[in-house]
Amino acid sequence: MSRIKVELKKEQIDKIKTICQSFNNNGGELINVLHKVQGTFGYLPAEIQEVVAQELNEPIAKVYGVVTFYSFFTMLPKGKHPISICTGTACYVRGAEKVLDELKKELKIKVGETTSDGKFSISCLRCVGACGLAPVLMVGNKTYGRVAPEMVKDILKEYEAM
């Protein structure tokens, strides 16, 4: 997994510690702790994982193992407007990959990456429960259905000024 280097401020470390404490520093709650920490910071860089491991008294290798196993967790910050594209069966057969290729071409990033201006990031997900609208993509919380590759430019334009 690609990495970026961050320096945590004292308040940020304290915040992680507080979250761990709210789960009684119980190693068995690792996934829940990571979930909450990512909810707060947006992503889970190595430095954050180190603090979590220390607080829960778990090996850092194990924390990293969990972070890399679940696709929900990310070690890179998501863009201001995170784009999720469904590559589940229904969307896939109706051309999700072509939409994805167009997104990658437009934004010049790969899946899991964020544009250099921090605006957009792309991730894949499996089914949002709107198969009737396949192929589906989401920008933030807004859902777009029956997306064709040629619509990608216009969708992105909506957010460029935001």
Tokens 């894949």: give the residue: 124
Q: Which residues in the 50-69 window bind other proteins by CB under 8 A?
A: 50, 58-65, 68-69
Nearest C-alpha neighbor of 77 from the set 108, 27, 51, 40 = 40
The least CB distance from residue 70 to other proteins, in Å, is 9
Is-cis flag, bond preceding 135, omega within 30?
A: yes
Of residues 51 and 83, the one with the C-beta less far from other proteins: 51
Question: What size, in residues, is the chain?
Answer: 162
Phi and psi at residue 154, to the nearest 5°: -65, -40
Angstrom CA distances, 6 to 36, 44, 50, stand at: 19, 10, 12
Other Cβ atoms less than 10 A from the Cβ of 27: the count is 16
110 is an interface residue for other proteins by CB under 8 A: no
89 is an interface residue for other proteins by CB under 8 A: no
Of residues 28 and 65, the one with the C-beta less far from other proteins: 65
Query: Number of residues in contact with other proteins, rule: CB under 8 A?
Result: 17
Candidates 26-34, 41-49, 81-89, 129-137 — which segment interacts with other proteins by CB under 8 A? 41-49
The least CB distance from residue 61 to other proteins, in Å, is 4
Q: What is the contact surface with other proteins in residues (CB under 8 A)?
A: 1, 3, 5, 46-47, 49-50, 58-65, 68-69
